[in-house]
């Protein structure tokens, strides 16, 4: 049976591309991962590691022995090695660096010196650059000498004699011009290079907006350092989207889905605890109206309804605002117009649902005054939700706090508290005062 497993695994792995193998590893319980890893073809090791999420990668690398690490040093390119080195234990990092020759070691150490989430962390060092004052014929001879060219090579980077970035020249232009044409005649100097410390997020925006497939990376003196290709940028875009989704639930997108339950539980407990605090705060506000609750039990049934309607309405507004902010070109007056619109939408829905729910509560509890209080509380909370949903993301953004992470929580605090306060406060003032 063991042997059959091996054969089946090898067959399966042959049909998968590295990214799929990485996903397979992430969705496989940890104890089986090393077994799969051993059967991945060595030439895919680097790309598989590059696609793994951080926690899974770190754990997998811990299970490798000296031989397997030395094998990695041999197979992988320097930019991949730099990525991986950051997840290795100090001991294993030393093994890896020792296994490299001098040039490679310097390249890896340079690459490691840039933060992972910058252009420097994304770039490969496999740059092919040519001087502007040579002819197409010379370039073609040079390329033939190189033999193996990088994947997805669309254009060559053009430099001066001091390795300063000048622009790019398209391979297709090399093909369609006479061989004695000088490179500088074909140079596209309008395409900028990316500064090495540009945040990865901004790099992704540049690629998207300009429909780039690759770009040169330079230091602040305009020296060419490396090249970023679109496939790395696509990964960034995916990760960003994942981050937004996970952050809303207080989760870390780099978490291994098979983290031991006790560890997962501890991490998530934090978020549950914060939520508990906000829920308790709302309950504490409501507790000032215990007398009212004691006299009108129906209010206890209405409290969660009022809170949830405000929360939903506010979430809709906050989602729209967060998306508009992410688009990034919302100027002051337009943002104010959008906020006004959102508050108006909340008011309109508040009016509609106040009438609908008020009538419903009148029918359910057979009490017109109670129906009025319920409807009025719904109206107040839908407006409060819209106002909070519009302003909270803007305020968080101004304080450089990720709106995706904190908006939901702060919004619920507002809508829960305001919902309880409006409902119980109105009931106290209108119903109790009248009946006593």
Return the residues of window 413-432 that contact a copy of itself according to CB under 8 A: 416, 420
CB burial string 368-381: b at 16+ within 10 A, e below? eebbbbbbbbbbbb
Residue 60 near residue 33, CB atoms below 8 Å = yes
Binder of a copy of itself out of 269, 355, 395, 429 (CB under 8 A) = 269
Instruction: Say if strands 155-159 and 194-195 run parallel, antiparallel, or are unpaired.
Output: unpaired
Binder of a copy of itself out of 96, 122, 303, 373 (CB under 8 A) = 303
In whole angstroms, the minimum distance from the beta carbon of 220 to a copy of itself comes to 23
Question: Which is nearer to a copy of itself, 135 or 319 (by Cβ)?
Answer: 319
Question: According to the binding rule CB under 8 A, does residue 251 interact with a copy of itself?
Answer: yes
Contact segment (CB under 8 A) with a copy of itself among 102-110, 118-126, 188-196, 279-287 equals 279-287
The Cα–Cα gap between 122 and 232 comes to 7
The dihedral over CA atoms of 158, 159, 164, 166, expressed in degrees to the nearest 10, equals -40
Contact segment (CB under 8 A) with a copy of itself among 2-10, 16-24, 76-84, 95-103 equals 16-24
HSE-CB for 114 with a 13 A CA cutoff: 28
Cβ neighbours of 82 (radius 10 Å): 22
- Where helices occur in 399-429 by DSSP H, the ranges are 403-426
Question: Which is nearer to a copy of itself, 112 or 375 (by Cβ)?
Answer: 375
Question: Which is nearer to a copy of itself, 76 or 100 (by Cβ)?
Answer: 76
Question: According to the binding rule CB under 8 A, does residue 264 interact with a copy of itself?
Answer: yes
Of residues 141-160, those binding a copy of itself (CB under 8 A): 143-144, 146, 149, 151-154
Question: According to the binding rule CB under 8 A, does residue 1 interact with a copy of itself?
Answer: no
The Cα–Cα gap between 431 and 355 comes to 18
In whole angstroms, the minimum distance from the beta carbon of 283 to a copy of itself comes to 4
Residue 411 near residue 311, CB atoms below 8 Å = yes
Binder of a copy of itself out of 160, 201, 210, 363 (CB under 8 A) = 210
In whole angstroms, the minimum distance from the beta carbon of 314 to a copy of itself comes to 10
Here the tokens at position 156 are 């060559």
Number of residues that bind a copy of itself (CB under 8 A): 113
Contact segment (CB under 8 A) with a copy of itself among 36-44, 93-101, 192-200, 204-212 equals 204-212
Question: According to the binding rule CB under 8 A, does residue 231 interact with a copy of itself?
Answer: yes
In whole angstroms, the minimum distance from the beta carbon of 315 to a copy of itself comes to 5
Find, among 51, 42, 50, 34, the residue nearest to 70 by Cα.
42
Binder of a copy of itself out of 19, 70, 109, 367 (CB under 8 A) = 19
Binder of a copy of itself out of 108, 112, 299, 410 (CB under 8 A) = 299
Question: Which is nearer to a copy of itself, 68 or 240 (by Cβ)?
Answer: 240
Question: According to the binding rule CB under 8 A, does residue 63 interact with a copy of itself?
Answer: no
Of residues 363-382, those binding a copy of itself (CB under 8 A): 382
Contacts of 349 (CB under 8 A, 6+ apart): 313, 382
Of residues 306-365, those binding a copy of itself (CB under 8 A): 307-309, 312-313, 315-316, 318-320, 323-324, 327-331, 334, 337-338, 341, 344-345, 348-349, 352-353, 357, 360
The Cα–Cα gap between 426 and 436 comes to 15
Strand partners, 167: 158
The Cα–Cα gap between 83 and 22 comes to 15
Contact segment (CB under 8 A) with a copy of itself among 68-76, 191-199, 255-263, 427-435 equals 255-263
The Cα–Cα gap between 395 and 381 comes to 20
Cβ neighbours of 342 (radius 10 Å): 23
The Cα–Cα gap between 277 and 282 comes to 9
Of residues 71-110, those binding a copy of itself (CB under 8 A): none
Contact segment (CB under 8 A) with a copy of itself among 36-44, 79-87, 119-127, 270-278 equals 270-278
Strand boundaries in 106-223, DSSP class E = 129-131, 155-159, 165-170, 194-195, 214-218
Residue 102 near residue 180, CB atoms below 8 Å = no
């Amino acid at each position: 049976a063991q042997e059959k497993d091996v054969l089946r695994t090898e067959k399966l792995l042959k049909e998968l591309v590295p990214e799929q193998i990485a996903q397979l590893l992430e969705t496989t319980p940890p104890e089986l991962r090393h077994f799969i890893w051993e059967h991945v073809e060595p030439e895919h090791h680097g790309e598989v590691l590059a696609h793994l999420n951080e926690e899974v990668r770190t754990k997998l690398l811990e299970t490798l022995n000296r031989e397997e690490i030395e094998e990695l040093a041999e197979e992988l390119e320097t930019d991949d090695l730099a990525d991986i080195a950051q997840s290795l234990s100090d001991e294993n990092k030393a093994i890896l660096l020792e296994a490299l020759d001098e040039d490679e070691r310097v390249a890896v150490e340079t690459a490691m010196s840039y933060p992972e989430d910058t252009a420097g962390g994304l770039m490969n060092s496999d740059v092919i650059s040519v001087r502007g004052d040579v002819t197409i014929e010379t370039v073609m001879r040079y390329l033939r000498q190189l033999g193996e060219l990088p994947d997805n090579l669309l254009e060559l980077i053009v430099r001066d004699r001091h390795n300063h970035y000048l622009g790019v020249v398209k391979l297709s232009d090399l093909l369609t011009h006479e061989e004695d044409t000088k490179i500088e005649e074909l140079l596209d100097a309008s395409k900028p290079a990316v500064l090495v410390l540009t945040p990865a997020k901004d790099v992704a925006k540049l690629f998207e907006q300009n429909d780039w497939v690759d770009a040169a990376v330079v230091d602040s003196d305009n020296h060419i350092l490396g090249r970023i290709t679109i496939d790395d940028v696509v990964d960034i875009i995916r990760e960003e989207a994942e981050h937004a989704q996970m952050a809303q639930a207080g989760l870390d997108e780099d978490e291994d889905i098979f983290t031991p339950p006790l560890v997962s539980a501890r991490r998530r407990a934090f978020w549950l605890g914060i939520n508990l605090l906000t829920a308790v705060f709302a309950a504490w506000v409501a507790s000032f109206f215990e007398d009212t609750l004691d006299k009108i039990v129906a209010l206890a049934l209405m409290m969660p309804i009022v809170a949830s309607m405000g929360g939903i309405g506010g979430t809709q507004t906050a989602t729209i605002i967060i998306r508009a902010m992410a688009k990034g070109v919302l100027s002051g007056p337009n943002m104010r117009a959008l906020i006004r619109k959102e508050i108006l939408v909340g008011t309109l829905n508040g009016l509609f649902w106040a009438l609908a729910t008020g009538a419903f509560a009148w029918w359910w509890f057979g009490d017109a005054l109670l129906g009025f209080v319920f409807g009025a509380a719904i109206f107040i909370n839908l407006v409060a939700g819209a106002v909070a949903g519009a302003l909270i993301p803007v305020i968080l953004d101004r304080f450089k706090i990720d709106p995706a992470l904190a908006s939901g929580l702060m919004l619920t605090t507002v809508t829960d508290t305001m919902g309880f306060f409006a409902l119980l406060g109105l009931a106290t003032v209108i119903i109790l005062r009248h009946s006593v």
